[in-house]
Amino acid sequence: MTCPESETNDHEMGQCDRIGAGRLLSVSALLSDGPPTEAGKPMVAVTVPSLSIQESHGETLFNDNCASCHGVNAAGQYGVAPPLVHVIYEPNHHGDMSFQMAASRGVRQHHWQFGNMPPIPNVSENDVINIVAYVRGLQRANGIH
């Protein structure tokens, strides 16, 4: 599927998604040849709020299952995996079900140049609900709604 320039192709769902020019610029900046970085360093600075009980449980699950790729506090890691505390993953663009599908089915590369994400078979649907609560809490604390 080919999308107009103002839209991106969501390969998984076969749909075009509207993303504003500012969002595309922020993604382009992360993918550009900007300042040299070392693989594994955080891609974004993340403010960590006080966490609810559910978010704290999600943090533990995230650290056990996701942080090795997506980094501490979902900040991403250069050369490894993208930050989840990023406007691309805001609820209106990647709803909570996107996280469920990513964990159970994996994801084909489409927004970033890190390659495909494999399924994460050791997490249950309930685990993902708690992980998403943690990620959404981080996003809200960092101005992503």
Homologous superfamily in CATH for domain 38-141: Cytochrome c-like domain (1.10.760.10)
DSSP symbol at 118? P
pLDDT digits (tens, 9 = 90+) for 73-102: 999 999 999 999 999 999 999 999 999 999
CA-nearest of 145, 81, 86 to 109 is: 81
The DSSP line for 49-63 is -PPPHHHHHHHHHHH
- Which comes out higher in pLDDT, residue 142 or 34? 142
Q: Who contacts 115 (Cβ-Cβ below 8 Å, separation ≥6)?
A: 109
Amino acid present at 96: D
pTM of the model: 0.75
Beta-ladder partners of 81: 77
- Do the strands 7-10 and 15-18 form a parallel or antiparallel pair, or are they unpaired? antiparallel
User: Domain-by-domain residue ranges, the chain?
Assistant: 38-141
